[in-house]
Structure 1
Amino acid sequence: MQAIILQIVGLLIITTLIVLFYSKPNIESVETKTYAKLIGLNFLFLVVGISTYIVAKLIGNFNLINILQKTYMSILALLNLYSMFYCISIYDKEEKLSNLKKILLSITIISILLIIALPLNVIFEGDLLDGEGLSYDVALGHTILSFTFFLIITLYLLIKKYSLKKISPYIILIILYLIGFLIRSCYKELIFEGFFYAYILFIMYNTIENPDVKMAKELVFQKKLAEESSRKTLSLIEDMSEELKSSVKDLELISNTKIDKNNIKELNNVLSLFQENSVKLNDKISSILDLAVVKSEPRIVTYKYETLDMLDKLKQFLEIEKEDKIKLEMKISNKLPSVLYGDEAGIIKVVLYFFDLVSSILSKKNILLEIDNIIVGNFAKLRFKFITNDKSILNYVVEDKKTKELKLKITNSINYEIINNLLEKTNGNITIIKDKDNVNLILSVNQRLVSEYDIISEKEENRNIKIKYHNYSGKKLLLVDNNNLKLKEMKILLKPYNIDVTVAQSLEEMGNKLSDDETFDMIIIDDIIPNFEIDSFTKEIIKDQNGILNYIKKQAKYNITTIIMVTPNNKRIEEQYIKYGFNAYIIKPVNKENIDNVLNKYFETK
């Protein structure tokens, strides 16, 4: 059995490859299709080779051995053919070499026919099983032809200065065959062809699978984003058409009105009406476009601004916005914070839209706007109180049956939808309070007194650490931790790098996100996650040799840089994580310096 030991090992390798290859989704390309044929042929090649040896040992029927050996050599010819096809498919994307493929196919078919038809002498002495004769010479000649082809392709790529990455398995195959022939001079009984092919197909698997699968998933993800964007655009167009239809009809009615051109007063009235309706139409179009912009912005940009400067801008805009018939009085508290962190432009926009909404539903146009704030911890809730004695506004107010709170009930208003979208992004809300004399419509928006980053920077582990931040926009990171506070702190630390951060709070959630079409450049995973204490987590890795990493690769189907956050310990567990395949570790607590080192190491372009 010593003669076929390499064949048995090769059979185990190729069986594993077949399971791996077909258990994952693959891109339908010439390259992957050819690879599928290669692993199938190699499996048959090894099975026939092992069977031939067993038959020779157990039965010794030379006629049966002759048939099996010719089958073995015919499969070898097909393996050589598809290996040449594979080399062509890598660099001939436009299929300009289709004629060459036809020539190689013809040569292979003729070779197989000759292998079958020509005589073959079976050599079987002790553990040695071999052959000789014209049939054997044809099989050998076809193999030499394929190896010559591999060398020519290699020389061509070297001259053209192309990458040899994907052709390298066949360069290795030639070297292995040369080594095999040298070994066989001492151990003539060894059969190595099937094992060598299995070995180079194992190498090849890692050159064709991961990059393509990642690219395919990213393309599918981008396609979904485009389809969603298209759906929203169509929805917006439909909303726009319904919203504008009435205004356009009003203009059409005015244009069709018969006018006595000699009656100047009537002419002025019609022109004035036409102008008024044109302005309304323009306002509706502007509001619809503003709504589209608000909905398309995924998040609010937070920055530092001066409160009084923001209110001064608001005053100027309100003066422009309000009509002559609207009387607006403003009272601003003298206890407002001088500086806030938030979205200055977003606040101005939501207040202006709210003012426009309130003034449009009032009969009496007298409004008092009081601006104050409530401070809770590191937050300041800015309150814009629109106070009116016009009770007609209650026609647009309903009481919630459960909470007894008053709420606005306004339908078919784009401005109201814009307000709700902006408030959702700024954690704001609308409160309505009525008393004996007045109705108070309070617009509240939460802002920070201190930036989140400043708070994190003041923590002990981050003090006196100065960082020169790099812009890693376009990079995607998956953050895995079950601690909400730690997730929030990590996202704050990562924010200056402009990285797109996605979070998962369990292994199952991580697996779901990895198996989705969106791809990631890095995973940072905590060593303590649900159902895994630090020791059991380590045992899980040791038990399954890098089980968590295998799980990540199985779900993602492409390679991802994986960093683990390690709890301080005396056992140097972090070194075990590196041993079992993690790219790097961060000793907790995570601070600005160690996260910066990891990001720069794996994201910074040299």
Structure 2
Amino acid sequence: MLIGMSAIGCSFIYTIIISILYFLKKKTKNFETNIYNVLLILALVNMFIELHLCVNVLLKVDSYSLYNMFLNRLFLITIFNWVTVFTVYIFKIAFSEKEKIIKKFNSKKMKILFIIFIIFIAVCLFKIITLRIDQFNDGVYSYSYGPATDFIVIIYGMYFFSWFIALIFRTNKKRFIKYLPLFIFIIISGLALFLRQINPGILLNSLPFSFAVLLMYFTIENPDLKLVEEIKLSKDKAEQLNTDKSNFIFNITQEMKKRIILMKSNITETLASNDVDVIKSNLHKLQSIVDGSNKMINQTLNISEEDIIKIEKIDNKYNVKNLIKETTLAAKNKIKESIDFRVSVENNIPEYLFGDSIKIKQILTTIIENSIKYTKKGFIELRVSSVIKYEICRLIITLEDSGIGIDQKIINNIFSKREDNDYISRNLNLNSVNKIINLIGGTFNINSKLNRGTKITITIDQHIPEEDTKNDQMAEYIKDLTIPKILLVDEDLNNLERIKKMFKNQNIFIDTVIMGEQCLRKVRNGEKFNLIIIDYEMPKLNGLQVFNKLKTEGYDIPVIITTDSDDVNIKKKYKEIGIYDVIKKPIKKKDIENIITYLKEN
């Protein structure tokens, strides 16, 4: 008996160590880890009870006492529960990949099987509790026997048979490592039963359980959580990149089709005409189309090359003022004498920032070169300011010129990724800028009037590597905390400006974005808003989809959806799912007053 106690004691100690290591380690929650949790706990309880029974024998506690009989029955119950759970685990790993077998059982059949299994467990437990247990104790050996222990042996035999079925039909090289605990368990269990038949005083009942949980600790599928998160992040980035590329290729293809149609039209007209002037005019048109197409193809190749770089966001510490200086000095060499190029950089911008300086330089270079290209005379003004809150510096880059301007339809096309024949070069360059800004988590707005000029506003959040915020900046931030914040989400820039003006002089901070993804990014980055007003008709993600994502991710921010519909049922339906209000477009003064009242009350 002392040999048995020593074996049980050693098994109990290393199972406790395994349990501590396992439960302290971060792990994924899945079927296998949940099963392993139960097996570990049952193995510990089983060994503890067996040790307790051995101690009772040494202390000469009456074998037929009520307490001792209770421990014996509890010991048999834990053995039955352990092998039952272990059997469930075996069949799960054996048939998890056999979808055809699983599909043969409809939900009704599965329910029947589950009920039969529950009845089987209930009957077995009833038998263990009610059948007689006898005790043998001659001062040297002590063990239990009788109908209850015989019943457990029969159950063991049934489970052994089912395991052999699983081994015969499902073992292969790929899954062998998963079956290793089963092989070891069968061998050790057989050895323990054999030794018990020779010498019942050798108590090795719990030894197979401890060995099985030890081996399962090293074979159970428990991927590292950090690795899983990195893989998921990489997958999301790859999917986003593929979507962007597909949209971009589609847009370029459509543009090339339009150009081919124009070329065919000119060629047909040229072939049908004998007028030299008409032929020359058509040839000039063809030359212009070919030059434009060639230029567009070159830009497409450049943007595709940029995409490869932009797969990864390369953050580094950089001197922001030097970066602006280098970019503007390079631009000055390309500016005509008839253009007044002005640069204004606020002094409160920290000397060093931490972020993707390469992409910021790309953005600055592209918007300045576009402005130079489409401004023949007048001015180009670059203004860079910042808003500092704790360790974040929000760069506000504004570029204003007196150039030819951009039609509102073209601006909408830039943000909706649809191309137009006019301004194709500028359109593609600004699409590229928009794409980069989306990747690094900024905002991009264009205000323009034809023949009067263009104003581009970009905001990008960068980290401050060292604490260099000034006391007056901190005081200003604390003051800002008391001001309500509203996030406006609408792809129509004119509509954003109109709503923003309606909130003027109301002591309310208004932030604007043009896409649902930008709204989600701001909230996920920790920006706080008292209210979100979002248009239902949005590209990619509509207003309702954005609300559902915010709700699913646990963000409890009141949302107002604006829509063209005045259907009362839609408004009622939206309010039932948690949307604060639904406003018919265009937003009126009364709607603004209601919003202001709500913000003051809350």
TM-score (norm 1): 0.42
TM-score (norm 2): 0.42
